[in-house]
Amino acid sequence: MTETITAARESEVVAAAETRLYIDGQWRDARNGRTLEVHDPSTGKVLATVADASVEDGWDALYAAQRAQQDFAAMPPRQRADILMRAFELMHQRKDDLALLMTLEMGKPLAESYGEVNYAAEFFRHFAEEATRIGGNYQTAPAGNARFVVAKQPVGPSILITPWNFPLAMGTRKIGPALAAGCTSVLKPAELTPLSMLALARILEEAGVPAGVVNIVVTSTAGDVMEPLIRSGIARKLSFTGSTAVGKKLLEQASDKVLRTSMELGGNAAFVVFEDADIDQAVEGAIAAKMRNSGEACTAANRIFAHESVIDEFSTKLAERMAQMPVGRGVDEGVKVGPMVDAKQRDKVAELVDDAVKSGARVVLGGEPAAGEGFFYRPTVLSQVPEQARMWQEEIFGPVAPVSSFSTEDEVIAKVNDTPYGLVNYVYTNDLTRGLRVAERVESGMVGLNQGVVSNPAAPFGGIKESGLGREGGDTGIDEFLETKYIGIQM
């Protein structure tokens, strides 16, 4: 349920927002008093001023996590699960404020922010349930002369780094399993959207997370603050969600002390419509896969391939649907497409579209930024995008749908796999055998078969190739924060 948002309600939520660092159970300013500004991308205006952590604050947070680790690991799993369940419930109680704050700092339509609060909270419920099911094994050695006890233990203090596009869910997807496994953490949210994570930290505090167990460090100098922490080896785990370029850099840093790593990186999803697909269903799926989060999602359909016999019908219907999506401030009723997160992101989208058009693509809809304040780009459909266009290889991260045709299954599978990324692909067909055959052959960690959204806390989310390492959510998500220990017993 969404509410009608007045300017007074916006001011009230922003005024109540937490803007300090959360370190060792204390809310505090940066040691050197530095601050950074958070902007509303739908107006470009300053929304709030937030404490901007220095390297010293980063160390304070990591040492706090280190000190808290032993006691927290010893906390009974049921108690950890209860904390997570309380946090889940508090997120639902505060959903109006959380959703509005998210829309104000990130831009997504309010209905989508409600969706994200729900999705984000679900990771706490899921991992509350997992916390009490951490298993082990007892086995007889093949020679019969020994027994093996296999136990799972928390990996230890963890560094968690999250992006701006899902400011809450990318955090709970890491904090949930870390808490369930018994790991303390230092979380660094994106500089563009720290308010949601700080609001979450208040909830965690209220839910009973002990001091030092979760620490939130907001900073405008991510590299300077995080690199020494990662290289120190005090944290035993690095879990990162963000771009492939930054992920590769962090993998190198993590190699210094051989940290366990989870990497949720960029994507370049293909969306394939076969000639036997239900075209209306495929159009709805494409809208979900392309336009969720105004196209600013790692799972966004970046390359749409429709069979040559249905491409005209599919493209016309897709353009009609996208033309009906109102663009505007995410707080306004009926808005379906919000602004890009900042001017840089909007300009990158414009650059990729201009490059495609110069190379010969035809603009079916949109094709330019929207006039006025804020960082808006119009919903855009492009056809006949040539192979050399940069957008086939680079994440667009905006409301732009390039559509191209294919004639055979082998041809389209080769096109789908012609990318260094491998996060998710979407396949639309009414032939289940073909659907499964194609799903098995495409190179990605996830496939949406007649489904435009794959994210689900109970399913293993993650990519292969340069889209990352490890999985978040599902029944294996907690393993990312657990070590396996084997104890051999002579008989």
| DSSP assignment of 339-368 | --SSHHHHHHHHHHHHHHHHTT-EEEE--S
Query: In terms of CB distance, is 192 or 291 closer to ligand NAP?
Result: 192
Distance CA 100, CA 108 (A): 10
Q: Is 395 in the site for ligand NAP (CB under 6 A)?
A: yes
Distance CA 143, CA 18 (A): 60
CB of 299 to ligand NAP, least distance (A): 7
Pick from 94, 108, 152, 188 the residue near ligand NAP by CB under 6 A: 188
Query: In terms of CB distance, is 72 or 397 closer to ligand NAP?
Result: 397
Residue 443: which residues within 8 A CB-CB, separation 6 or more?
416, 417, 422, 464, 465
Pick from 82, 89, 129, 191 the residue near ligand NAP by CB under 6 A: 191
Q: For the stretch 429-451, what's the b/e string if a residue is b when 16 or more beta carbons lie within 10 angstroms of its beta carbon?
A: beeeeebeebbeebbbbbbbebe
Distance CA 271, CA 311 (A): 13
CB of 245 to ligand NAP, least distance (A): 7
Pick from 30, 120, 161, 254 the residue near ligand NAP by CB under 6 A: 161
* Known catalytic residue at 264: yes
Residue 349: which residues within 8 A CB-CB, separation 6 or more?
295, 340, 369, 377, 396, 397, 398, 399, 400
CB of 190 to ligand NAP, least distance (A): 4
* Known catalytic residue at 183: no
CB of 193 to ligand NAP, least distance (A): 8
Q: Is 167 in the site for ligand NAP (CB under 6 A)?
A: no
DSSP one-letter code for 156: -
Q: Is 197 in the site for ligand NAP (CB under 6 A)?
A: no
Stretch that binds ligand NAP, among 62-70, 157-165, 357-365, 429-437 (CB under 6 A): 157-165
Q: Are 231 and 256 in contact (CB under 8 A)?
A: yes
| Contact mark string toward ligand NAP, 75..114, x via CB under 6 A | ----------------------------------------
Burial classification of residue 360, based on how many CB atoms lie within 10 Å of its CB (0-12 exposed, 13-18 middle, 19 or more buried): exposed
Beta strand pairing call for 185-188 and 158-161: parallel
Q: Is 468 in the site for ligand NAP (CB under 6 A)?
A: yes
CB of 460 to ligand NAP, least distance (A): 12
Give the gyration radius of the chain's Cα atoms: 23
CB of 157 to ligand NAP, least distance (A): 16
Q: Is 226 in the site for ligand NAP (CB under 6 A)?
A: yes
Binding site for ligand NAP (CB under 6 A): 161-166, 170, 188, 190-192, 222-223, 226, 241-243, 246, 249, 264-267, 298, 395, 423, 463, 468
The residues carrying an active-site annotation are 264, 298
